[in-house]
Structure 1
Amino acid sequence: MSDWIDTPEALRARLQAWGNPEIVALDTEFIRERTYYPQLALVQLAIPGEVLLVDPLAPGVAEALRPLLIDPSIIKLMHSASEDLQALSRGCGVLPSPLFDTQVAAAMGGFGAGLGYQKLVEQMTGVTLEKGETRSDWLRRPLSESQLKYAADDVLYLHAAHTVLAAKLAELGRSAWLQADCERAIRNAGSDADDVHPHLAVRSAQMLDADGQARLCRLLRWRDVEARRSDKPKSWILDNELAVALSRRVPDDIHRFNEFLDRNPKAPRKSRRELFALLSEPLTEAERAIPLNRSGENLDKQRLKAMQEAVAAVALPLELPEGLLCARKHLEALLEGRGWPPALEGWRRDLLEPVLAPLIPA
């Protein structure tokens, strides 16, 4: 049912034998436990009736994959593709395009929000898949028989799901919606830029005053740069809660600063002087101008509720999950005067602006 491919010559020969398929199912296995960037460990490809398990660790294989990945005439069929896109970008140096994401398509087609692959397959084909290798070491060689079967199953049923989903989206007139979302996912995966306001994703930042949040934002921006430079997980560079604690006040003495870090088991051993300098340097006006991470108590709850009800009123007749249409954080951005988030541009804004515009504070 599946073949192991570990030379560029074998891969090119098999892909040439496929001719010019309109759609190729695609998945990856990767490891990201000890690194910032995902380590691509396996690439699965499938056309109906044939699965290739491709070893991107073998010399020349990743390069041999690139023509298929970027071929504009071949749709790449993936499920919940965002992390796989990052792994392929890192491992092969290119992003697959065009893309058809079956998880997004299922949500748009009314089959359920955030469906995992096993649930999708069961719903579309009636087949129940095992979940036994989800935490495997995919970098080891050789892979076990159970790993190989699990990997093959991840692409084996995507074509059947695509047939159902593509027909449903065409019936509903939503094929262009999916295309737009998939194109945005590819753009996002191709952007290696850091979040300019990382403090907004840290819930406990709400406990800090404005200057504290500005210092936290500075620390987290530094952390993002260091994590990418060293290819280490962000939390290994600086833990979120420690960053919040450090941002509460400007340190006045390097020795007391080090004593505080010594009492914290998650404190970094290196970069202490750099952290002290980052926290000690006066804030600029630009740093103080960032949006604040506010608690729900500081929001206009009545207006937020009205906005949520407006989103629900749009989503209900369309049988769309409200979260797919508009997340709460995007409503909060509108409520705080930060403008329309990029995630709402396109078909979402077309649907929502008529009902949300009257509720947005002037």
Structure 2
Amino acid sequence: MGGDVPVNWDPQDDDDRMIVRQDDFVRYCDHLRKCESIAFDTEFVSEDCYRPDLCLIQVATAGGMALIDPKALDSVDLFWEVLTDGDHETVVHAGREELRFCLFATGRLPKRLFDVQIAAGFVGLEYPAAYRTLVHRLAHRDLAKEETRTNWRHRPLTDSQIAYALTDVEHLIPIRETLRKRLGKLGREAWAAQETDEWAQSVRAAELHEPWRRVGGSATLSSKGLAIVREVWQWREETARRRDCPARRVLRDDLIIELAKRATPNLAKIRSLRGLERGDLKRHLEEIATRIQNVLAADKSTWPEPHRSTSAGPPLNLLIQFLQTALGCLCRDRKIAPGIVATSQDLRDFVAHRLGLGDRADASQISLLQGWRRELVVEPLDRLLAGEWSIGVENPVADQPLRLVSFGTPAEERIELDE
């Protein structure tokens, strides 16, 4: 990207790319404001704290690479402000945690996001592909594994840690360029951009809109049960934030679900629940009981609505397996990763809707009926469901022996699906 300029900051040691002084950090952020593309990654520790403990920010631009040390600086808020302001492109790999840091600091997301993991799925590479895999496939380099379990809180960082951290961003912009060219040849820039935007918005929603719905096992609960989950989850979050520890260390998800199913503020019944006998939890059972009582006493109109289930049950299992295999054939021919197109639940929802089975969702809620997915798969899936297409053996000894065929036609008349 020709608009980038050399890094305009002057550390004490010309060979030291670690930014550990606040004035250097401010100058570096001024440089970033002038860049057309900013690639970044983070190193953090999350197993013993409420929110991930940010230990290092790795950044790459056309002007070079740098490491920002949050442990040495007063604040790195300016970096997140720069990242979420302006019209530069932000490049990441599997950047969920990186987006969460943006949201924690600013409540906003970068405006132009390019996730190389998502883009790789749209050009026929595996999805989700590890960074090492993409570097090997697209940059023809093999990355070291030595520091994958390193303690990023420890200072000073070793030369090996610094080198490892830099490789995490060194190839992001070149890989982005390669993927962009391939997307252009396939005419899929808009598809990748749409998927990236929807993915980023899902990260935002998970953090800012009803995050309590992520409690495992809550999807099948009634409104009353969901209201209890929401209230107990809120208590857990407040407690975890106060202690600065992971929320699930305060109270496991399965125990929240069991409390919701029992739906009682009776302290004796709550104490009888296996898993709540832990000493530190015992001190809070009365508070939990009060929270549940508050839910039961509240107006039912304040209880959350359950998400509609679109599952049509076990009878579809064999059909879904067949369609997954057929989808794999289609995706191979169209040079797109099956994993980015549909999950088994997506297929189940689609079939239930098409066949009028079960508690069907509205068409707008069926992922395979939206956007680029509709364009790619609806006609083939409809033909498969109608019995017009099937799966045939192309070459029994090939790596990919199967191919979609028109039902009952000879091999020489098999459907050509290549773009």
Q: TM over 0.5, yes or no?
A: yes
Taking structure 2 as the reference length, the TM-score comes to 0.70
Contact 1:39 1:90 in 2 (8 A): no
Cα deviation, residue 296, structure 1: 8.3
The corresponding residue for 1:38 is: 52
Q: Distance in 1 between matches of 2:259 and 2:41?
A: 41
Q: Distance in 2 between matches of 1:262 and 1:10?
A: 51
1:240 aligns with 2:253: yes
- Cα deviation 1:57-83 (Å, max 9, x = unaligned): 444552332453134432111111111
SS in 1 for 2:76: helix
- Cα deviation 1:131-173 (Å, max 9, x = unaligned): 2333333234333333222211111111221222111111111
Contact 2:123 2:337 in 1 (8 A): no
Unaligned runs of 5+ in 1: none
Letter in 2 for 1:52: A
SS in 2 for 1:190: helix
1:13 aligns with 2:36: no
The corresponding residue for 1:337 is: 360
Q: Distance in 1 between matches of 2:39 and 2:312?
A: 43
Cα deviation, residue 33, structure 1: 1.4
Letter in 2 for 1:143: L
Letter in 1 for 2:361: R
Q: Distance in 2 between matches of 1:58 and 1:93?
A: 24
- Cα deviation 1:253-295 (Å, max 9, x = unaligned): 4224324357655983344234335556389488696247798
- Given candidates 372, 376, 395, the residue that maps to 1:351 is 376
SS in 2 for 1:30: strand
Cα deviation, residue 181, structure 1: 2.1
Larger radius of gyration: 2
Q: Distance in 2 between matches of 1:61 and 1:263?
A: 39
The corresponding residue for 1:135 is: 149
- Given candidates 218, 227, 230, the residue that maps to 1:221 is 230
Q: Which has the higher contact order (CA 8 A, sep 6+)?
A: 1
1:149 aligns with 2:199: no
Letter in 2 for 1:347: W
Q: Which moved more, 1:250-259 or 1:123-132?
A: 250-259
Q: Distance in 2 between matches of 1:311 and 1:2?
A: 50
Unaligned runs of 5+ in 2: 1-14, 353-358, 386-419
The corresponding residue for 2:306 is: 290
Cα deviation, residue 337, structure 1: 1.7
Identity %: 23
Change (3 A) 1:89 1:262: closer
Where do residues 14-29 of structure 1 align in structure 2 (5 Å cutoff)?
Answer: 14=28, 16=30, 20-29=34-43
Letter in 1 for 2:255: L
CA RMSD of aligned residues (A): 3.7
1:320 aligns with 2:336: yes
Q: Distance in 2 between matches of 1:63 and 1:234?
A: 24
Question: Which one has a larger percent helix, Structure 1 or Structure 2?
Answer: 1
Q: Distance in 1 between matches of 2:371 and 2:231?
A: 33
Q: Distance in 2 between matches of 1:171 and 1:103?
A: 18
